[in-house]
Structure 1
């Protein structure tokens, strides 16, 4: 670490030495986004770690009386800041999603009479859950601590990539327990557990697996659990109706029987503890086998030094967070920025054992040779800014993520790239085929250490899959008809953008036939534009526009997570054409202005839990991703000062370092990536191109430590809360007479200077 600090100081002078010595971890607030709609979790994980060890504050059934339970939406990450009790600590969590799964292998320490049900929030004493207070809660990168008040137990959590490390400080008791709940999970579908199995190897080692049928149709996770001291007794209760059938009745399986199997199992392990005694647990995961989990455990955490594991994980976070080093006079800005970097570096997650073995989409075991295999691809969200951010500061990881996508394609019966995938499953969630955008962005930016022609073939095969989500209609008619396939306008617009991405790669690789095919498809957005209303509008299979049309409504209007006002601005690959189509710069500017200033009536917030005023400014929906590029479109209308003004407003309104500090789901880091780019002063309006639109930097200075050994510095002179307008931009000493910067200019290293003022610029 000393050598790294010296190396960084030699690269950038004394100011970099100051950066390297500063504890950037102090600015990360994992609690941000845990209230309301942020859907983040406060627990421990390392960058892109396979284990996300975090408290769960309630277990909510997905359905109530046969209908979708709206309350379940709050618990996408398992934790809600407003809750007063903790049910336990599970090992897998999504960060910031709008749907959920996971919550595997919940562990809860307890003392006194053994209780094997979680109880209720109103009466936690009726089960194993416990009250807690935020006053005793500490959440840092790779460390979580809380006091479980009902049992007077201090819980501490940390992790390595594949192993969760628990440390529980008990009171004196002859009845101390560790409960392992194999039934618990996030989004508890009825009959979610297909099968669970626990094997007691000896008095300190337990192995097993859990197979579930939830959002992922068939998901299998194996574990190895080691205790720091022998347990004196153990047992389990099986809550299924078909227990103890056949020859198994020859044994009393409820206590001290080494094999526990069934759909609904809760197990316990008993200890004697002295006052202040710590019982530690190492809990390793594997997508392959219990043997793989055991190998992961021994490879990553061979000993029992909790503090050493915590320090090692926090050192990983320090290294990752220092890839962008900022100067700001505002502590809040530093907390916002480094918390955003933290959230951006959680997903996608590593999905393989230490030997490279992983479970593929075909449920067979594969080996990742020469790359790290990843999972959790929320691509409808993350193609917009997260993966472009990775191309700048995490290019090696992003290339590995793309190789993971390409192997997904090879293992897919449909021969399609991932849409929304996790844990060897494709969920088919959301619209478009945005793996194409991620792949194209990497290829066009020169970050493609893989067979680019094979990658293009995978993109083409995906885009020609006629049976996928209205794509056959789109190919034949040039649009998706609403009477044949819902959310038709969103799909048409997104397919057209993805097709443009394919065309760019085909042109770069000299495959003219493919370029011609997909550049024609890239203008299909014109087929859903209605000149009479000035909006994108759903069309029917007879060619007519849908008669009943409300441009402010989302549902049943041809859109998903947006309305016509927002989606009419979604042509990121042809902004000039879009502006001309919508009446020219003046009229288009008025449309943009209205988007930010209008007031939506209450009726548009009444029907669904994911549409609230929290993530909305006027009719601009920052909490839903289709609008994320919109504020930058003023750069194409001759009003860049409006982009600058809007960006700084959004930064202030939608982000702050507190539990409710995110104006919408973080969506696996997309909201955070938007913040990072926008704070730095530029944004990838159109991934797949090499351009980043300029905005208004909110930091005083930032230095990007690039993987190629170069540095790129952004300096905002005279920047402040009122000085949001850019007077001029200077790149490496030369005035920049355009409102974008290129990827090559960033990766070549150097310096860009923004001269800021409270007065609007001349352009």
Structure 2
């Protein structure tokens, strides 16, 4: 055998071994602790892909309002319940958002303790005054669907894993005559005053407890049912009620706080007492339901028929491996492997399942519905996720995304406003952020041919949503072509967002041959021009009389007509008409230096004065990667004479904003949006304008990726001469044919084949 042949044989053998190893265990590259420090707002606990249960430690909660009744900015730290730098754990609750900038949830906190029973959480500086415990990261392990930590103050080893609807706890106790399991029913992330409106707990027998909890928080009316079972009979039990007077039973005939089989009240903390031997394990299975305790019990018995903790953990990790193996990557180094698969992990945390084993769920109308032929989902952070997360699902999770769209269509039918969701969770619409961004999610799926829902029904839902005139300035937008700043805050950014959403409706209508709808909405999509001030070259607030606002600062983020950004950032937000925008700004000659300066300019301190979620760690010049309106911006160079700068910029952003570290995310992950940006960009193509079939090409950061598509086809992304220095692309081929221009269509990629990037250290100008 020749030297060359021997080398090829060894290389092929190594690649084969690597691929086989990845097939067996891609979870080894996932670190759930990434993003748990600073602003990432991720949680490290156990969950399965898209699971209804997110069983995770909470290190603290800060009241939503301080003594003066005003919002406390420090509460923003605990959107996911966990901050890596905190020294104590309060307990383990069953529901969490991942990466959001607001929160709720934190339902049904469980904490094992020993010694004197204490029913208050204590404080971080004096944990001995309550049931919380100190812990060390040296005794902490976080893996997909597994979390483990030593609770030092109680000498208890805590482990947890999950199924879709059941959280499974395993606590290893010391020898004790005073062992307790505390069930905190008033705990919540972002504790509004009197957030808990009612709680009911029923002791069915000495191992089974059922009940529900009603809250009034970010979601105005939310009810979660549970069924909880112990592996060992409870010796005694009771509860204490805080803030409100304890209900004493009819004519005070009973002491309802001890060994009484019903617990009823507003702010309850229950306890269950045991005696334990040294290293004895007490296990708990805790099932959730949006509908009833009967359904919760059915979920529990169906999904976790046994007490085999290890088997449940392994099964969940196998689910993760199955999802992660949809894309098999060979990267330049282990850090990039960790970044890539942790990003995939974060993209598959939500939206979350919101229906029981029998298909039932609570709808937006607060009635019980049954999801027929689809799984119902909740947690739609659409202002964030329409941009990249849902397009990512259209590539690797099309059937699941179809179910999510069916969930949105059900939401629209149950809505009194007949609107698709804006930001919804747990049968509630939060009306958070701006635009109507379920529309581009639906349109993108229609344009890309995602099957499983009625296209025409979905288009009609989009049209109806876009014409609810009393929603957030839509009446003025339809009448004037913009939102007057003297009538609405965020007038400019909302106008720009509506214009994009309207364009996506036009694209779906065009696909379906609805020319009347296309013409109406393509005209509306040009409304971005109505807030562009050619005299200064920026988007600018306009008043009801048609004049531009005089007092105006292009860098300020406060009171200037923009949400989570400034005029500088949002003036580039015309992803549906980038060439029109560039021409309006003076063409390449003026636009290119303007765009270049975005990444190099210095922001004054005033820029940070009125916002909490824009941090210096997430900013490159005036490019704010931690805020989603900037996510398409680096790809704007593709529409100029210097597309090589897109390649340079995206590789720089990948390096600066994503690290395999606890604080490795340059901003909130926002329900997977930041992570989806990483994945697409690392693969070398990006959904610049959802609602279009076209991806913009960039500069892949991987050596090779094999994408296993649901249709049975395989898409391979390969790079030649890849390195950290070779960030420029000299040529791209698809199935051996050169790709002309800077774009490639979704239909080509899902037909399968090989997309090859030829990398270079010098730009091709």
Q: TM-score, normalised by structure 1?
A: 0.97
* Residue of 19, 22, 30 corresponding to 2:32: 30
Task: Give the alignment partner of residue 604 of structure 2, picking from 592, 601, 606.
Answer: 601
SS of the equivalent of 2:210 reads: strand
Residue deviations 1:229-280 (CA, integer Å, cap 9, x gap)? 0010000011133323561611101100000011110000000000000000
Deviation at 1:319, TM superposition (A): 0.3
1:529-577, Cα deviation, whole Å (9 max, x unpaired): 0011100001011111111111111110000011111111111111110
Residue of 317, 327, 331 corresponding to 1:328: 331
Alignment of 1:669-708 (within 5 A): 669-708=672-711
SS of match in other structure, 1:678: helix
8 Å CA contact 2:644, 2:729 repeated in 1: yes
Using the TM superposition, give the Cα deviation of residue 123 of structure 1 relative to its aligned residue in structure 2, in angstroms.
0.2
Say if 2:393 is the partner of 1:414: no
The runs of at least 4 consecutive aligned structure 1 residues that moved more than 6 Å come to none
Counting only pairs closer than 5 Å after superposition, residues 556-571 of structure 1 correspond to structure 2 as: 556-571=559-574
**CA RMSD, 1 decimal:** 1.1
CA contact (8 A) 1:586 1:637 kept: no
Aligned to 1:4: none
Q: What SS does the aligned partner of 2:81 have?
A: coil
Map 1:308-707 → 2, pairs under 5 A: 308-707=311-710
Q: Verify the 8 A CA contact 1:678 1:697 in the aligned structure 2.
A: yes
- Name stretches of at least 5 consecutive residues in structure 2 with no aligned partner: 1-14
Write the distance in 1 (CA, Å) between the matches of 2:470 and 2:69.
30
How far has the Cα of 1:628 moved from its partner? Answer: 0.1
SS of aligned partner of 1:666? coil
- Secondary structure of 1:43's aligned partner: coil
Please state how far the C-alpha of 1:60 moved relative to its aligned partner. 1.1
**How big is the shift at 1:515?**
1.4
* Deviation, structure 1 residue 16: 8.0
CA distance in 1, matches of 2:22, 2:195: 47
Q: Distance in 1 between matches of 2:719 and 2:759?
A: 7
Q: Is the 8 A contact 2:23 2:321 kept in 1?
A: no
Work out the CA distance in 1 between the residues paired with 2:284 and 2:116.
22
- Select 2:174's aligned residue among 171, 176, 183: 171
Kindly tell me: are residues 744 and 601 of structure 1, through their superposed partners in 2, closer, same or farther at Cα, counting changes over 3 Å?
Answer: same
Q: How many residues align?
A: 751
| Offset, 1:17 | 4.9
* Paired position in structure 2 for 1:293: 296
Decide whether the 8 Å contact of 2:614 with 2:624 is kept in 1.
no
Query: Equivalent residue of 2:61, what SS?
Result: coil
Deviates more, 1:585-594 or 1:208-217: 585-594
Report if the CA contact (8 A) 1:132-1:147 is conserved. Answer: yes
661-670 or 558-567: which moved more?
558-567
- Provide the residue aligned with 1:61 in structure 2: 63
What does 1:104-119 correspond to in 2, within 5 Å?
104-119=107-122
Q: Secondary structure at the match of 2:212?
A: strand
Report if the CA contact (8 A) 1:96-1:665 is conserved: yes
More off after superposition, 380-389 vs 732-741: 732-741
Alignment partners' CA distance in 2, 1:512 and 1:611: 42
Q: Give the distance between the partners of 1:532 and 1:29, measured in 2 at CA.
A: 49
Report the Cα distance in structure 1 between the residues aligned to 2:668 and 2:106, rounded to whole angstroms.
18
Structure 1 contact 77–96 (Cα < 8 Å) conserved: yes
| Separation in structure 1 between the aligned mates of residue 19 and residue 438 of structure 2, nearest angstrom | 39
CA distance in 1, matches of 2:314, 2:495: 49
Give, in whole Å, the separation in 2 of the partners of 1:135 and 1:184: 27
For residues 123-175 of structure 1, the C-alpha deviation after alignment (integer angstroms, 9 at most, x for no partner) is: 00000000000000000000000000000000001000000000000000000
Which residue is 1:10 aligned to?
none
How far off its partner does 1:448 sit? 3.3
Query: In the aligned structure 2, how far is the partner of 1:53 from the partner of 1:20?
Result: 26
Residues 276-301 of structure 1 show CA distances to partners (whole Å, capped at 9, x for unaligned) of: 00000000000000000000000000
Partners in 1 of 2:248 and 2:116 — Cα distance? 29
1:181 aligns with 2:184: yes
SS of the residue 1:416 aligns to:
coil
Paired residues of 2:557 and 2:610 also in contact (CA < 8 A): no
CA distance in 1, matches of 2:349, 2:568: 32
1:277-288 aligned within 5 A: 277-288=280-291
**In 2: Cα distance, 1:362 partner to 1:59 partner:** 30
What do residues 668-688 of structure 1 show as CA deviations (whole Å, max 9, x unaligned)?
000000000000001001000
User: Structure 1: which 5+ residue stretches go unaligned?
Assistant: 1-12
Report the 3-state secondary structure (helix = DSSP H, G, I; strand = E; otherwise coil) of the residue aligned with 1:523.
Answer: helix
1:605 Cα deviation from its structure 2 partner: 1.2
Q: Say whether 1:234 aligns with 2:247.
A: no
1:746 maps to 2:749: yes
